[in-house]
Amino acid sequence: MKAINRFLFAGALAAALPGLSQAAPPDDTIVVGLSADASTFDPAQISSRDNSNIAKHIFASLFKVNFEGAVEPYLVDTTTISEDGLAYTFSIKPDLTCEDGEPLTAEDVAYSFNRAADPANAFTGNTPGFVYTTLGFKSAEVVDDLNVTINVTAKTTLAPGMMAQVLIHCKDSYEAMTLEQAAATPIGSGSYRLASWERGSQIVLEKVKDPGTFDTIIWRIIPEASTRTAELIAGNVDIITNVAPDQVPAIDASGSATVEKVNGTRRMQVGFNLGKGVEGMPGAAEIQDPKVRFALQYAVDVPSICTQLLGAECTRMTSLVNPPNGNPDLVPIPYDPEMAETLLDEAGYPRAENGVRFSIRLQGPRGRYLNDANVVQAIGQYLNDVGIETEVELLEWASVYSPLLRTKEMGPLFFLGQGGVTWNPLYDMSLFSTPDGATNYQSWTDQRWFDDWKLAIDADTVEAARPIIDRMLKLFYDEGPWLQLYFQPDLYGVSSRIDWTPRRDEEIELFAATLK
Amino acid sequence: MWTFIIRRLLQSAIVIIGVTLITFTALQMSGDPTYLYVSERATDEEIQRTRVALGFDKPLPEQYLTFLGKLAQGDFGNSLSYKRPAIEAVMDALPATLELTLFAMMLAIVVAIPLGVVASLNRGSPVDGSIMTMGMLGQSIPSFWLGIMMIMFFGLQLRILPISGHVPFITPLVQGNFVEAFTNLPQALYYLIMPGFAVAFYSISRNARLVRSSMLEVLGQDFVRTARAKGISETAVVVRHALRNAWLPVVTMIGLEFGFLIGGVVVVEMVFSWPGIGRLVFNAINQRDIPVVQAAVVVLALVFIALNLIVDLIYAKIDPRVKL
């Protein structure tokens, strides 16, 4: 009876709304549901991952990071590095064009690099920001039609990976545009062109050349996680990002989609703030002792946090380097609260009569990382269990947590995730390139690490630096400033009509996606 | 009347300065927003360069006075997130919110008045009880929860209404693309049903209760008894005599309704992926995109002031006792 009533009700409403039902995407179209809109398509202004994911279908780059996580040539044909390692000369592939038909030459590559660095443009995107800072970008010069030289201030094995982030565009078309036009109506060098952008609703890309399986890519902006899930199950979108762990069973049971889990490159940790920003606070002196920090590694049941709170098995961290680039001799520290208690006793912090060894504050953001608030509270409870009275404080990211991080005043314990890469361990390790570096939020000053860092970064290749890297990672494992948790699992909802495998680095690459 | 209008417009200037000052102070209280616009690897020099580029290096009073000076020229500055004029971002989002709000207001009037009248005419009956129970529910259920439940039922189970999205009507209409606007109209209404109802449900409930109590008060008065004694049909008594007099508090409420609905659309716009001003402001606050927040606040305040002015004028028209 219920089924009949439902049928009649649905029929009546459908009859009242003729021709208005939502259709599933056609076969030549793939639809992706994102949580946030793009803010700009000016290559030098892009700063968010969602924005970059779309732009990488519109613009090509000299190199790209492939699915396996290695850097490989994209527009580049051959590479020559000067003896001092300060000049990279690239020969680009012939017969390249931009979307409007303009030939793409070495002049356009040099223009793309120099335009982003031009202070007159006051760009604030990732390229003129951390990419050029890490690369040590100095200038780009045209050698001839197909050859361009990129000059850097210091030799680095990170160069190709960083250059993979610089999006290439054609000089003539961009010189004819205002900055506002460049932001809204890009002229790309990649496989797709921006066909339309309904701000806040959707972005439509149309294929102009290979690679790319689908003629049309639609990026729909669906901020609410449960709405994204509903759209996926209803068959209106093919891929959704940031699936909430509590919605995984519903998607898997729907029959129309499944959840693909991938262990990402984001390194989740509890940082030990060893600096002056928390000097004098409860617990700040105790965590200065490496033995205390090592003891706490045993206190937190990371596998249970992953399965119970994140809905996935996680890859455990053994250092700040993403697999497979870590030290293979290091194994994840198991959950062993008794061992934690023994080590804390040995470190000189026995339980007092009230059962407390010492007190400390653990701060964490709310809504920044996968189920972060619950994870932080669980960690706080695990620390309480071994006698460390932990006050958990959850803070809003944008206005409170982020400024505290920057000024290094959070903690003494703080929950944090930091993005990493698969193509070079030194990139992951560069968080600790100097004792007072911006990303050394822990103010870790162990001189052994920083002496080795200079040796590692000066090596000609990563392979040559490998013994040093392994030594550094062992030091980080034993005495480092992180309570090492997990590489954050990324959950994607994928429609059963398509074949698509997510990457580890949060990049949504649709070139190889196909219909089943 | 013109004196009244001019006086109200002058008052509105003070209101605008007040809301911008409060917004500015609130957004600045939580510290320097520069860090949101640099990567985590940014050097101190890079942070300082960005701070200067965004204008956050100047003292707060200077920043605010600069903002007011530009505001007088209609310049709200560039959005920090969208890298384009903030007012453009707001005006792009405004039509979608107006569509949703006006549709919800229409529902709140068209559905609530008959419900309130029917309840008052059947006072104490099961019909009255049912309507008042619905009214109580409507005022208790959060709009986002209702929205999600509607998505689950009408979007996923029955699959008769779109789960999320928006088809524009006002934007093409304002741009003079009448064919596109009216071609879009059926789809626009189709996409409006669920978010519109989710926004309006609270107002429907409140207005129905208000109409009911107002009608009950009027129905007990002498002139209604006189009208009935004269043998006028019950429909005419209710519509021409009772409802007309019960109408005044409802008109006041409708005037305030818009501001209330604007506040209520933020969450509903998130749930239904509605590209309106509520969602824009929500994101702008998270991003500390001060120019966008300021532009949105000023635009909404102007809309609210204009609507209140219109309501006051209507009130004077329908109630001869009110003199402007």
State whether residue A288 sits within 8 Å of chain B by CB. no
Task: Map B178-236 to HEC letters.
Answer: HHHHHHHHHHHHHHHHHHHHHHHHHHHHHHHHHHHHHHHHHHCCHHHHHHHHCCCCHHH
- Which residues from B are below 8 Å from A180, CB to CB? 83-84
Candidates A22, A135, A430: best to mutate against B (most CBs of B within 10 A) is A22
Supply the pLDDT for residue A23.
64
Length of chain B as a residue count: 324
Confidence of residue B322 (pLDDT cuts 50, 70, 90): low
- Which residues from B are below 8 Å from A439, CB to CB? 40-41
Of B33, B161, B166, the CB nearest to A201: B166
- Which residues from A are below 8 Å from B275, CB to CB? 198-201, 221
Question: From B79, which residue of chain A is nearest by alpha-carbon distance?
Answer: A39
Query: Which A residues, 428 through 487, put their C-beta within 8 Å of a C-beta on chain B?
Result: 438-439
Query: Which B residues, 84 through 143, put their C-beta within 8 Å of a C-beta on chain A?
Result: 84, 89, 92-93, 96
Distance (Å, whole) CA A360 – CA A344? 14
Question: From B91, which residue of chain A is nearest by alpha-carbon distance?
Answer: A199
At B164, phi and psi to the nearest 5?
Answer: -155, 170
The DSSP code sequence of A327-338 is -TT--PPP--HH
* Rounded alpha-carbon distances, angstroms, from residue B90 to A51, A385, B246: 20, 51, 38
What lies within 8 Å, CB to CB, of A260 at 6+ separation is A491, A492, A493, A494, A500, A501, A502
> Inter-chain contact A183–B152, Cβ cutoff 8 Å?
no
**Contacts by B4-9, CB closer than 8 A, 24 or more apart:** B4/B312, B4/B324, B5/B309, B8/B305, B8/B309, B8/B312
Contact yes or no for A169/A108 (Cβ under 8 A): yes
Q: Report the percent of chain B where pLDDT is more than 90.
A: 25
Q: Identify the H or E element spanning A46.
A: none
Residue B210 is encoded by which pair of tokens?
Answer: 């208000």
State whether residue B188 sits within 8 Å of chain A by CB. no
Contact yes or no for B119/B127 (Cβ under 8 A): yes
- Which residues from A are below 8 Å from B271, CB to CB? 224, 226-227
pLDDT averaged over consecutive 10-residue blocks of chain A (516 residues)? 46 46 80 91 89 94 90 93 92 91 93 92 82 89 94 89 93 91 92 93 93 93 92 94 91 93 93 93 94 95 94 91 93 95 95 94 91 95 96 85 84 92 91 86 94 91 94 95 95 95 91 90
Residue B292 has pLDDT above 60, yes or no: yes
Distance (Å, whole) CA A494 – CA A489? 15
> Inter-chain contact A133–B93, Cβ cutoff 8 Å?
no
Candidates A231, A401, A428: best to mutate against B (most CBs of B within 10 A) is A231
Q: Is the pTM of this model over 0.80?
A: yes
Query: Which A residues, 56 through 75, put their C-beta within 8 Å of a C-beta on chain B?
Result: none
State whether residue A403 sits within 8 Å of chain B by CB. yes
Of B36, B52, B42, the C-alpha closest to A400 is B36
Strands A147-152 and A137-144: antiparallel
Sheet holding A137-144, edge to edge: A76-81, A87-92, A147-152, A137-144
The question of ipTM being above 0.95 is answered as no
> Inter-chain contact A17–B190, Cβ cutoff 8 Å?
yes
More confidently predicted of B53 and B146: B146
Shortest CA gap B287–chain A (Å): 7
State whether residue B149 sits within 8 Å of chain A by CB. no
Length of chain A as a residue count: 516
Distance (Å, whole) CA A397 – CA A368? 7
Shortest CA gap B128–chain A (Å): 26
- Which residues from A are below 8 Å from B92, CB to CB? 199-200
Contact yes or no for A238/A304 (Cβ under 8 A): no
Contact yes or no for A386/A350 (Cβ under 8 A): no
What's the distance, Cα to Cα, between the start and end of chain B in Å?
A: 6
Predicted confidence (pLDDT) per residue in B173-191, tens digit:
988 899 999 999 999 999 9
Shortest CA gap B206–chain A (Å): 27
Of A13, A45, A220, the CB nearest to B160: A13
- Which residues from B are below 8 Å from A40, CB to CB? 82-84
> Inter-chain contact B44–A438, Cβ cutoff 8 Å?
yes
State whether residue B26 sits within 8 Å of chain A by CB. no
> Inter-chain contact A201–B89, Cβ cutoff 8 Å?
no
What's the distance, Cα to Cα, between the start and end of chain A in Å?
A: 37
> Inter-chain contact B160–A17, Cβ cutoff 8 Å?
yes
Using CA atoms of A18, A19, A24, A30 in order, give the dihedral in degrees to the nearest 10.
-140
Candidates B99, B157, B164, B281: best to mutate against A (most CBs of A within 10 A) is B164
State whether residue A216 sits within 8 Å of chain B by CB. no
Shortest CA gap B286–chain A (Å): 6
| Averaged pLDDT for residues B197-220 | 89
In the numeric block, the tokens 């009533």 are attached to A5
- Which residues from A are below 8 Å from B88, CB to CB? none
> Inter-chain contact B286–A20, Cβ cutoff 8 Å?
no
> Inter-chain contact A40–B164, Cβ cutoff 8 Å?
no
Shortest CA gap B42–chain A (Å): 6
> Inter-chain contact A399–B270, Cβ cutoff 8 Å?
no
Candidates B163, B171, B190: best to mutate against A (most CBs of A within 10 A) is B163
Question: From B46, which residue of chain A is nearest by alpha-carbon distance?
Answer: A129
Query: Which A residues, 408 through 427, put their C-beta within 8 Å of a C-beta on chain B?
Result: 418
Candidates A20, A32, A153, A439: best to mutate against B (most CBs of B within 10 A) is A20
Shortest CA gap B220–chain A (Å): 40
Contact yes or no for A509/A427 (Cβ under 8 A): no
> Inter-chain contact B190–A406, Cβ cutoff 8 Å?
no
Q: How far is CA B99 from the centre of its chain?
A: 10
> Inter-chain contact A224–B271, Cβ cutoff 8 Å?
yes
CB atoms inside a 10 Å sphere around CB B149? 12
Of A20, A133, A200, the CB nearest to B279: A200
Distance (Å, whole) CA A485 – CA A263? 13
Task: Map chain B to HEC letters.
Answer: CHHHHHHHHHHHHHHHHHHHHHHHHHHHHCCCHHHHHCCCCCCHHHHHHHHHHHCCCCCHHHHHHHHHHHHHCCCCCECCCCCCEHHHHHHHHHHHHHHHHHHHHHHHHHCHHHHHHHHHHCCCCHHHHHHHHHHHHHHHCCHHHHHHHHHHHHHHHCCCCCCCCCCCCHHHHHCCCHHHHHHHHHHHHHHHHHHHHHHHHHHHHHHHHHHHHHHHHHHCCHHHHHHHHCCCCHHHHHHHHHHHHHHHHHHHHHHHHHHHHHHHHHHHHHHCCCCCHHHHHHHHHHHCCHHHHHHHHHHHHHHHHHHHHHHHHHHHHHCCCCCC
State whether residue A251 sits within 8 Å of chain B by CB. no
Of A364, A417, A412, the C-alpha closest to A388 is A412
Predicted confidence (pLDDT) per residue in B238-291, tens digit:
888 888 777 777 777 777 777 777 777 888 899 999 999 988 988 888 777 888
Of B84, B96, B276, the CB nearest to A180: B84
Q: What number of C-beta contacts closer than 8 Å exist between A and B?
A: 141
Query: Which B residues, 48 through 87, put their C-beta within 8 Å of a C-beta on chain A?
Result: 49-50, 53-54, 81-84
Predicted confidence (pLDDT) per residue in B18-61, tens digit:
888 888 887 777 667 777 777 666 777 778 887 887 778 888 88
> Inter-chain contact A40–B275, Cβ cutoff 8 Å?
no
